[in-house]
Structure 1
């Protein structure tokens, strides 16, 4: 009951909001932060406006929930989680560019942090893990790899924090410990993802600052294409 405080800006400017973000987490306040333009997809504004390390720094903050939804369905679920999250702040990291709704995406499953978006028959050889605008790349790559005869699972992981709060049994059902070939796709720093990809996994992530160019050009320049995800996946499968 009562008022729900919220604020918004570009995601990259969370660094200027650091004191407020941290104090709301320390104080256990249910603030909703709507932070948009969440990747190099921002485009021509260039590296000053393109968050690379920002997601990792927010995810490292105790008592903070960070959600990066992959389509409209997940975005509606993310807002529902944020509004109900009254004892800690929530960051909604939203894209600038439009994203297609996935056939199997779920607003309700956002609350679980991660879930199986698309699956194969039998035990998967490879798990593709995606967030935000890169989730669609995982879906498209999975379909190509499946056509090549590979068994691939696609996992949407909008929130690490919410996923870590699930039971060990649920977490293992989504990311079985026996499936060690995993590929994360996120247009941000890889820091923090290694706990999910392990020693045998890989990532398509950002290891440098971005560039000033149209969003699609930036994505292609830094390897966020279906072709590159497929190539990385095939290299993992061949290892």
Structure 2
């Protein structure tokens, strides 16, 4: 026998549609499609049972029926889900995507072949910066950067982040390390961010964490402006 799911039956009952049974799956599917078109929703095949390789019953449901199971991790932890299909087309290109429990993209990291080669040569010191916020939501755009043998800035990896929490930084540093052809950098200068410092200590414990000179100078001009004004040679 073939019939509605419970939710569909309740809707049918409200429309005074009689409870029905069908001889074939096709008859049930055609009837359900007509009902779905009447109340404006789409149909999907749900679970069914087979006997001697022949289907004996089938449940049809609204395409939106069913909820994702509760996430077992901490509410603040976003669940990483590995994505490798682009990567299959170009093995030298790496990326990672993190989604939340609703499958909404939260964080994205990527690095191409040129970036990996540069990191192999010049990755002893990596500068990490998240001060770029160009989109209207103000989400951080992060850069892993360094300097090559011509004293030119070179990029090792990029990321679009949802926030700047310790969990996000831990995911990013681990994704970066997995994508690169060598170990973590010897030294990484960053701004004075407690969440970033905590993530570095747990993800890259062997890497020396230092504060970026540019950020130090910026803070100095902010907090010691009266000294700069009074003593011109202080800089």
Shared fold, TM over 0.5:
no
Greater Rg by CA: 2
RCO greater where, 1 or 2, for CA within 8 Å and sep 6 or more? 1
More helix by share: 1
